[in-house]
Chain A
Amino acid sequence: MAQFQPDSGATVSVTDRVRPLALGMPVTSVHFLGDRAAFVGAEEGVALVDKEGAIAKVAVHGGGILCAVSDGKRIVMGGDDGKLVTLDDKGEVTLLATDPKRRWIDNVALHPDGALAWSAGKTAFVRGVKGDEKSLDVASTVGGLAFAPKGLRLAVAHYNGVTLWFPNMAAKPELLEWAGSHLAVTFSPDNKFLVTAMHEPSMHGWRLADNKHMRMSGYPGRVRSMSWNSGGKFLATSGADSVIMWPFASKDGPMGKEPAMLAPMQVRATAVAGHPAQDILVVGYADGTILMVRIGDGAEILVRRNIGVAVVGLAWNAKGTQLAFAAEDGDAGLLEL
């Protein structure tokens, strides 16, 4: 495959259309709240940026921000201050929960209907839309949480597997076992597959109909970013020196299939984000490069040159007309399409 040449004239570039933002704080994730881009800092605050590039900083935590998730209307964050807070699209901060032992809130997940899940240590908590709260203890520290797209079902990733839990049902939670430490977890949008990113440079998947295993390995580095594309036909992942695209369109998912590789570079991909409507994804790399890639033919558009440190966050607004990105050091940008 041809290597991408940052300085060759052949690649289409939109770098001159990017509005650069100097946030002045390390960033760990990027989201959209309505029309404003939200850059979640490594500690204490979130920077909200409007279309014109005006930056408003909001204090959310009294320490490190360990996890953040957004549904486009609010961002829910957990911190090392033992607090779970939400930031809405008006910039209002609300305290949702405080861990009585001031344990770190390591993971958080949002359900489309507004239910909420978080974890501290080995305990996963779920709070329904009516405010009813339930908790589940698993055998080891929770590595990741995800709600299934349908029904109130929570996947709790941990050491040696994932526990699937229906918080409103009496049934015993189901354990999907696989040796090793499971971190981030995600359901396919069609609710047929469950995939985890492991502590080792590998992913693991289960077909939920029969719990059949899918080994998705071969990465040089840990997978830190996963994104479903094209209505769930592909799962795009970071961790290699190209975007690894696992096919999920058929009933067998990626079983027995090779993944596609897009946008090869000489450095590792660190963040990926699928476009909400089109077959396009945006990918950030360890050297700061950002590319937009068309899934069908691999055509690339340069969004940001290889300046500086790793890209940590990429986000599209709901309509897919704006892209926000940030590198680890807070060097960020907005692109209007």
Chain B
Amino acid sequence: MPDTTSHKIPVTVLTGYLGAGKTTLLNRILSENHGKKYAVIVNEFGEIGIDNDLIIGADEEVFEMNNGCVCCTVRGDLVRILDGLMKRKGKFDAIIVETTGLADPAPVAQTFFVDEDVQKHARLDAVVTVADARWLSDRLKDAPEAKNQIAFADVIVLNKTDLVTSAELAEVEARIRAINPYARLHRTERCQVALADVLDRGAFDLDRILDIEPDFLEVGDAHDHDHHGHDHHHDHDHGHGLKHYHDEDMQSLSLRTDKPLDPNTFMPWLQNLVASEGQKILRSKGILAFHDDDDRYVFQGVHMMLEGDHQRKWKADEKRESRLVFIGRELPEQAIRDGFASCIVS
């Protein structure tokens, strides 16, 4: 997947709990005059009011891979459908995969890490989650699927904001940020979001990890400080302080150091961490400065799957700093912090 050259068809994964507004967003993407043609893989035929022979029904068949790793699952139907769609290459510009409201986004994302043929022709662009401003807070309490979808997201479309008060909106945003401070969040009514904010995000493109997340880690820092009892609220771009919910089992953990890391210690540690705790870790990302290495190293992962590469030379005016983020449930925070600290060259 590191090869994200333009001939690969971008695939956007559209998730969201039942009734949040996925179909509304999908209908907008398909009907708006943007000059692009989308192939759409849907779980429910008939909800889309647009005639398009590139709308394909899917069955959400989650297959375990025979590699002894229980969380290594892929969407078997997606492998088959993408293979079939590639026969019509040139007839569409991008693919959108709509999941059911109860779906876990991980098998969809993992399909792009695991399957060689899928990787050859398509690239995962971003996981976009549509959330209902009115009901999300409740669903985060009673529906683990809704929580997964928020934790996994690169882009969150917080929809139906006209149905809540500004205090309720602040509350739901804070709950979202407690789980996932890194996703781009857009407040909408009837999913009125600029399509450029949803499509062609390059969220899984190692080269664009920073470009698309200028707040990468800064928001996480606020969380850290809070977590350690400092009464420090990061002033986020929404112009209000973030509340945090430490009763959440789903959380994010960020790590940083301006001292170089030892690649011979760090890489085995990271691989071991995702191998042993990968079921808890939904997403991971990092930009690393290794000892005696003039190149920046970037990585990202989904559960137990990791991919990483040397990205480019550190710029002269750039701070050589390593930054990592984990989003997951019941993360063994202290063990991760200690493990990371042991990889720092002293």
Q: Is the CB of A141 within 8 A of B61?
A: yes
Chain A residues in 8 Å Cβ range of B88:
42-43, 63-64, 80
A121 in contact with B63 given A42-B87, A222-B117 (CB within 8 Å): no
Asked if A65 contacts B87 (CB within 8 A), the reply is: yes
* Main DSSP-derived SS at the B contact region: mixed
Whether, in the assembled complex, A106 has its beta carbon less than 8 Å from a beta carbon of chain B, the answer is yes
Q: Which residues in A have their C-beta under 8 angstroms from that of B66?
A: 179-180, 198, 200, 202
B65 within 8 A of A: yes
Any B CB within 8 A of the CB of A199: yes
A64 to B88, CA, bound (A): 6
What A residues does B116 contact at CB under 8 A?
A: 221-222
Among residues of A, the one whose C-beta sits closest to the C-beta of B74 is A199
Among the stretches B51-59, B292-300, B335-343, the one at the interface with A is B51-59
Taking a contact as CB atoms under 8 Å apart, the answer to whether B57 and A103 are in contact is yes
Q: Does B229 contact A (CB under 8 A)?
A: no
Whether A265 sits at the interface, judged by CB under 8 Å, is: no
Q: Is A141 within 8 A of B64, CB to CB?
A: no
Greatest chain A CB density within 10 A among B76, B87, B117 is at B87
A63-86 contact mask (Cβ, 8 Å, vs B): 1 or 0? 111100000000000001100000
Contact of A159 among B67, B76, B115 (CB under 8 A): B76
Question: Which one of A64, A202, A221 lies within 8 Å of B84 (CB-CB)?
Answer: A64
Is there a chain A Cβ closer than 8 Å to B80's Cβ? yes
Min Cβ gap B242→A in Å is 43
Q: Does B79 contact A (CB under 8 A)?
A: yes
A interface SS class = loop
Judged by a CB distance under 8 angstroms, whether A140 is at the interface is yes
**Interface residue from A121, A181, A199, A202 paired with B59 (Cβ < 8 Å):** A121
A316 CB-CB contact with B under 8 Å: no
**Residue B163 interfacial (CB < 8 Å):** no
B66-120 with Cβ < 8 A to chain A: 66-67, 76-77, 79-81, 84-85, 87-89, 115-117
A104-122 contacts to B, CB under 8 A, are 104, 106, 121-122
Interface residue? A238 (CB, 8 A)? no
Q: How far apart are the CA atoms of A42 and B57 in the complex, in Å?
A: 20
Looking at chain B, what size class is its interface with the partner chain? 20 to 34
Which residues of chain B are within 8 angstroms of A221 by Cβ–Cβ distance?
A: 116
Any chain B CB within 8 A of the CB of A163?
no
Contact between chains at B76 and A181 (CB < 8 Å): yes
A32 to chain B, nearest CB (A): 22
The minimal Cβ–Cβ distance linking A14 to chain B, given in whole angstroms, is 31
Do A66 and B84 form a contact, CB below 8 Å, given A104-B56, A141-B77?
Answer: yes
Question: Is the pair A159, B85 in contact by a Cβ cutoff of 8 Å?
Answer: no
Question: Given the complex of chains A and B, what is the CA–CA distance between A141 and B59 in angstroms?
Answer: 8
| B76 engages A28 (CB within 8 Å) | no
B84–A80 touching, CB < 8 Å:
yes
User: Which residues of A have CB within 8 Å of B76?
Assistant: 140-141, 159, 181, 199
Q: Encode contact with B along A171-192: 1 for CB under 8 Å, 0 otherwise.
A: 0000000011100000000000
With a cutoff of 8 Å between Cβ atoms, the chain A residues found around residue B61 in the complex are 140-141, 159
Residues of B within 8 A of A202 (CB): 66
Nearest to A202 among chain B residues (CB) is B66
Question: Is the beta-carbon distance between B57 and A64 smaller than 8 angstroms?
Answer: no
Closest to B45 in A: A101
State in angstroms the CA–CA spacing of A101 and B87 once bound together: 21
Indicate if the CB atoms of B87 and A179 lie closer than 8 Å. no
CA distance A140 to B64 in the complex (A): 13
**Contact across chains for A104 and B84 when beta carbons are under 8 A apart:** yes
Q: Given A103-B57, A106-B80, A141-B77, A64 and B63 touching (CB < 8 A)?
A: no
B interface footprint on A45-59 (CB within 8 Å = 1, 0 otherwise): 000000000000000
B80 cross-chain contacts in A, Cβ below 8 A? 106, 141, 143
Kindly list chain B residues whose C-beta atoms are within 8 Å of the C-beta of A121: 59
Residue among A66, A103, A179, A181 facing the most chain B CB atoms (10 A cut-off):
A181
CB proximity of B321 to chain A, nearest CB, Å: 38
Which of A64, A65, A106, A181 is within 8 Å of B85, CB to CB?
A: A64
List 5 tightest A-B contacts by C-beta distance, closest first: A64-B87, A42-B87, A180-B66, A64-B88, A181-B63
Chain A residues proximal to chain B, CB less than 8 Å: 26, 28, 42-43, 63-66, 80-81, 101, 103-104, 106, 121-122, 140-141, 143, 159, 179-181, 198-200, 202, 221-222
